[in-house]
Amino acid sequence: MGESDRKQKIVQGANGIRTAAKALRSGALAAFPTETVYGLGADATNDTAVAKIYEAKGRPLFNPLIVHAADKEALKSLVSWSPHADILADAFWPGPLTLVLPRNKDCPVSLLASAGLDTLAVRVPSLNLARSLLEACGCPVAAPSANKSGHVSPTTADHVAGEFGAELSVILDGGPCQIGLESTVIDLTTDQPVLLRPGGVSQERLENTVGEVGVATSETPLKSPGMLERHYAPATPLRLEARSAEAGEILLGFGPEAPSGTLNLSVDGDLLEAAANLFAMLRDLEQAGPAGIAVMPIPKMGLGAAINDRLRRATTSA
């Protein structure tokens, strides 16, 4: 990408915080530094804003995002908090530890950030600039590392600028990241905590705090982020590339050709809107208890490739 294609504004200090917070609140993406790596942030409660993260990164829709806030209290209301969570948060927050916990029933965070799972990953970063930004925007912020999917994580504002074009308008510059390695991710949804991703906090330090910690392996597919696609097993079978619903099925529409009265991922055929609606609409349809869900064809370009990939995984999971 040429220099002239880049439209991002690199901002700093108190003014930078105001600019980035305003962008986040308006549903735009803003990159920001943490002590680990730079994050690509979006308002976690805004489906379309969260979909923009997946689109900008080229991230598979089965890979969930970490939600950040300025303090523990702001995150506790989103998830079903636990004694282990208390111990670990008190020991390592703010800091490079991410806790995976069950979502609360009324959790306002986009289902897309959870990639359709019943869990949510939460973290309070320790970098003051990051926490000032999170305080200023007043909403939980979903943020994966600010790199294209498959690239290494960025640790300077310039790295971030090199990854993205006009889809990212604001980068808050806090200098080089102190840790430069992503946070440790630990699953607290089972009796024994399970390490999903090694990172800024070592397993030894975790075990000194909460006792024995399991480690995710290929034998524990439900706990390993790389295997998460198998976690999502819809109760209702999906049929793809459908033109109409057969007996007992409900049609999930896409685009203007869908029959009126059909639940539609995007009447305008907008893939960003479709990604934002995907998980929530599948859940809605499942609740009606049909024999199957027939999904109309979705173009495979851009974010559509990720949507189709996610739907295929949902049809093949047991």
List the single partner that 37 binds among ligand TXA, Mg ion, none, CB under 5 to 8 Å by kind: ligand TXA
Q: Which two tokens stand for residue 83?
A: 């004694």
Contact stretch for ligand TXA (CB under 6 A) within 23-31, 159-167, 182-190, 304-312: 182-190
List the single partner that 95 binds among ligand TXA, Mg ion, none, CB under 5 to 8 Å by kind: none
Q: Report 100-159 residues binding Mg ion (CB under 5 A).
A: 145
Instruction: Identify which of residues 200 and 253 has a Cβ nearer to ligand TXA in the complex.
Output: 200
List the single partner that 196 binds among Mg ion, ligand TXA, none, CB under 5 to 8 Å by kind: ligand TXA
What is the distance between the alpha carbons of residues 161 and 21, in angstroms, rounded to a whole number?
18
Q: Which two tokens stand for residue 162?
A: 């090199």
- 110 belongs to the binding site for ligand TXA (CB under 6 A): no
Instruction: Identify which of residues 144 and 253 has a Cβ nearer to Mg ion in the complex.
Output: 144
DSSP result, the chain: --GGG---EEE-HHHHHHHHHHHHHTT--EEE--SSS-EEEEETT-HHHHHHHHHHHT--TTS--EEE-SSHHHHHTTB---HHHHHHHHHH-SSSEEEEEEBPTT--S-TTTTTT-SEEEEE----HHHHHHHHHH-S-EE--BSS-TTSPPP-SHHHHHHH--TT--EEE---S-SS-SPPEEEE-SSSS-EEEE--SS-HHHHHHHHS--EE--TT-GGG-GGGGGGT---SS-EE-S-SS--TTEEEEE-STTSPTTSEES-TT--HHHHHHHHHHHHHHHHHT--SEEEE-----STHHHHHHHHHHHHHH--
Instruction: Identify which of residues 119 and 277 has a Cβ nearer to ligand TXA in the complex.
Output: 119
Near ligand TXA by CB under 6 A: residue from 22, 197, 230, 239: 197
Near ligand TXA by CB under 6 A: residue from 21, 31, 37, 206: 37
Near ligand TXA by CB under 6 A: residue from 119, 126, 132, 156: 119
List the single partner that 39 binds among ligand TXA, Mg ion, none, CB under 5 to 8 Å by kind: ligand TXA
- 143 belongs to the binding site for ligand TXA (CB under 6 A): yes
CB of 189 to ligand TXA, least distance (A): 8
- 126 belongs to the binding site for ligand TXA (CB under 6 A): no
Near ligand TXA by CB under 6 A: residue from 36, 264, 266, 308: 36
- 155 belongs to the binding site for ligand TXA (CB under 6 A): no
Chain positions contacting Mg ion, by CB under 5 A: 145
Chain positions contacting ligand TXA, by CB under 6 A: 34, 36-37, 39, 63-66, 96, 98, 100, 114, 117, 119-121, 123, 143-145, 182-183, 185, 196-197, 225
